A and B are shown apart, each in its own frame.
Chain A
């Protein structure tokens, strides 16, 4: 173990001393990912698109027919995935992040609306789901605004009717009944004083419409109240943004380059004859290659941790539901990546060939493994091929943890695949290296 760490420590020192590599492996991926993420506005993406914003609806004492219609309307809008809930359940759902927002109507909202009592619709937002909750707030706000405009128009045209439902509001009717001659006769008839007064009142009211309309727009009976619910942190389901997708997939993509460079170093050491010098040391040869593997894994862990940590700090990227799931994904991704590229290095005799091969492999596996776009968007043959590259499983695990806030149980399959691949590749590396040492292939 000490010997392995001697080799690993040496490589880590060299990596730390290489400022160019630090820029390429850390700063560049972060900047590039940030540019990409910000370019797309950090919006929701892919399967978790606009059609799937989960919303809880709280509406007690609403007729069943209206409930059904409201639910259908929301679903068919394509923007929401609504669920009915009582007030307490909705509160819990918002705080736990299961829904982005809750739309809360007051008890018996129809009576409140039609009897002109104050009707306040509430939107409870999950503050960590800023984008989705914002969309809900905006759409509901627009709906309320339309109701307010209609109400304002109604009040402007029939202010007395609006204010005194059921009272005589048709005084002009008596006066205006009949043809034009009849109307004129009535207006001139001294006995029609009451009708004339009512007509005058009517006209006055018409003049008041403008004033009434202005007042209506200043204060409406139907309103919208928005409030944020503090997340409980339990069973929190974070929001999946484009950045949540891009950051880990780009990080894995750049990880492949970094780890491939580590594998290429085996050939550089051979050319510089430092490898042969190590082989002349006491003890077995396998700790040399295992040390290189450990160094690559540590380098990968640092790289992914810095990138995801920076993503969390700067762009509020979700780091998963607990402190151990994401680190485990990072660890297994790095062990598999380091194993894969070292195995590749041991299968190739010359560094130049390895250089070209690594570039090709990274680009192809990046494509079919979902580093550039979600695998679901690829043709079936490419998506199928993706299952044979380690980065597909790494991307899958990252997207479930970061995108869906999935726990360890939700990533059991990709974790198992990555763990098995890591072990198998490690065996391959040690076997190939020792075989080459025995036949003097490194001399």
Chain B
């Protein structure tokens, strides 16, 4: 359904998107995971025909976004990160406007607006001005506004930013429901758990480059199935710890990040007592120790050296 090949978008000399390639099958829920400034929104901008690419090719439903933008627009719906609604109008008036914009009208539009308001649990608040809505309600309306013309492809650009956990859950349910209905979705986020929960496949983007691509399991397998034990020790004892770890069975390596030691092992449960014994023998207090199972965060850290919550810049 979507083919992206060597996509490049530059702002001056800065390459916001730098040779990104991926494809999305019809009905697939594809996640684009990366921190703020990684190039996710720019990628969506090009895919949705708002931005012109400086290189590469994008085809949606067989149409080239550069040469057949009008055909592409008929296929796509976009839910921007911002609440792209008229907050001084009611929810009903907003949807009516977006519907008319797409050439809908009459009873069909009225019916569609009613359906979408019901889908977003906003039927009771339909005549209220959007500015009186909670953040979650605004997000839901923002989402269904992108569905008014029944698109085949939906771009969701961080649709859960700035809302509480309960509202986020409701949004994610809504998106999952769309996925089940067979809608092709590209979902950008910097929330790891959202990508893990929703997406069939995930592309990890960093500084404009796609650094990993695949389903959740295949991505995690890229870093092996190693557990990570993190502990804090006085810096003066790091070398002694490294030396000792070389003799421990099951320890595959020791690294250091932000003043903490990171011990990789296939089975954290078995190595942990060994570490504790060494600490006692050396009369060292256990200040902080944690075991981390392999996940996308670990993958991202491995690939970029930074956390997902940190800005790409």
Could you tell me which A residues sit within 8 Å of B by CB distance? Answer: 3, 6, 10, 13-14, 17-18, 272-274, 276-283, 439-440, 442-443
Q: Report the 4 A-B pairs with minimum CB-CB distance, sorted nearest first.
A: A273-B84, A443-B50, A281-B101, A273-B80
Contact of A282 among B74, B86, B93, B98 (CB under 8 A): B74
What's the count of A-B pairs with C-beta under 8 Å? 63
* Cβ distance A268 to chain B, nearest Cβ, rounded Å: 10
Measured between beta carbons, the chain B residues less than 8 angstroms from A440 are 45, 50-52
Measured between beta carbons, the chain A residues less than 8 angstroms from B80 are 273, 276-277
A276 to B70, CA, bound (A): 14
Given A272-B83, A282-B74, A443 contacting B101 (CB threshold 8 A): no
A3 to B145, CA, bound (A): 18
Given A14-B89, A273-B84, A282-B103, A443 contacting B45 (CB threshold 8 A): yes
Q: Looking across the interface, which residue of chain B has its beta carbon closest to that of A437?
A: B50
Q: Does B168 contact A (CB under 8 A)?
A: no
Contacting pair A277 B98 (CB below 8 A):
yes
Contact of B51 among A6, A13, A18, A443 (CB under 8 A): A443
Near A by CB (< 8 A), chain B positions 32-91 give 45, 48-52, 70, 73-74, 76, 78, 80-86, 88-89
Measured between beta carbons, the chain A residues less than 8 angstroms from B78 are 276-277, 280
Contacting pair A17 B89 (CB below 8 A):
yes
Given A14-B89, A280-B78, A281-B102, A442 contacting B50 (CB threshold 8 A): yes
Contacting pair A439 B52 (CB below 8 A):
yes
A283 to B50, CA, bound (A): 14
A281 to B51, CA, bound (A): 15
Q: Looking across the interface, which residue of chain B has its beta carbon closest to that of A10?
A: B97
Dominant secondary structure at the B interface: loop
Dominant secondary structure at the A interface: helix
Contact of B84 among A17, A276, A283 (CB under 8 A): A276
Measured between beta carbons, the chain B residues less than 8 angstroms from A276 are 50, 78, 80, 84
* Cβ distance B86 to chain A, nearest Cβ, rounded Å: 6
Could you tell me which B residues sit within 8 Å of A by CB distance? Answer: 45, 48-52, 70, 73-74, 76, 78, 80-86, 88-89, 93, 97-98, 100-103, 129, 145
A–B Cβ pairs within 8 angstroms, 18 of them: A3-B101, A6-B101, A10-B97, A13-B89, A13-B93, A14-B88, A272-B82, A273-B82, A277-B98, A280-B48, A280-B49, A282-B70, A282-B73, A439-B52, A440-B45, A440-B51, A440-B52, A443-B45
Contacting pair B86 A280 (CB below 8 A):
no
* Most A C-beta atoms less than 10 A away, residue of B45, B49, B50: B50
* Cβ distance A435 to chain B, nearest Cβ, rounded Å: 13
A273 to B98, CA, bound (A): 13
* Cβ distance B188 to chain A, nearest Cβ, rounded Å: 14
A14 to B89, CA, bound (A): 6
Q: Looking across the interface, which residue of chain A has its beta carbon closest to that of B42?
A: A443
A6 to B94, CA, bound (A): 12
Measured between beta carbons, the chain B residues less than 8 angstroms from A442 are 50
* Cβ distance B106 to chain A, nearest Cβ, rounded Å: 13
Q: Looking across the interface, which residue of chain A has its beta carbon closest to that of B87?
A: A272
Contact of B88 among A3, A18, A278, A283 (CB under 8 A): A18
A273 to B81, CA, bound (A): 9
Contact of A274 among B51, B85, B93, B102 (CB under 8 A): B85
* Cβ distance A258 to chain B, nearest Cβ, rounded Å: 16
* Cβ distance B80 to chain A, nearest Cβ, rounded Å: 4
Given A273-B82, A274-B84, A279 contacting B101 (CB threshold 8 A): no
Measured between beta carbons, the chain B residues less than 8 angstroms from A283 are 70, 103
* Most A C-beta atoms less than 10 A away, residue of B45, B52, B100: B100
Contacting pair A14 B84 (CB below 8 A):
no
- Kindly list 17 other residue pairs between chains A and B, CB separation below 8 angstroms, not including A6-B100, A273-B82, A277-B78: A3-B101, A6-B97, A6-B101, A10-B89, A17-B88, A17-B129, A272-B82, A272-B83, A272-B84, A273-B80, A273-B81, A276-B50, A276-B84, A283-B70, A440-B50, A440-B51, A443-B45
Measured between beta carbons, the chain B residues less than 8 angstroms from A17 are 88-89, 129
Contacting pair A280 B76 (CB below 8 A):
yes
* Cβ distance B312 to chain A, nearest Cβ, rounded Å: 19
A286 to B50, CA, bound (A): 15
* Most B C-beta atoms less than 10 A away, residue of A277, A279, A280, A439: A280
* Cβ distance A251 to chain B, nearest Cβ, rounded Å: 25
A439 to B45, CA, bound (A): 13
* Cβ distance B82 to chain A, nearest Cβ, rounded Å: 5
Measured between beta carbons, the chain B residues less than 8 angstroms from A279 are 50
Q: Looking across the interface, which residue of chain B has its beta carbon closest to that of A439?
A: B52
Measured between beta carbons, the chain A residues less than 8 angstroms from B98 are 277
* Cβ distance A150 to chain B, nearest Cβ, rounded Å: 74
Measured between beta carbons, the chain B residues less than 8 angstroms from A13 are 89, 93
Q: Looking across the interface, which residue of chain A has its beta carbon closest to that of B80?
A: A273
A14 to B129, CA, bound (A): 11
Measured between beta carbons, the chain B residues less than 8 angstroms from A273 are 80-82, 84
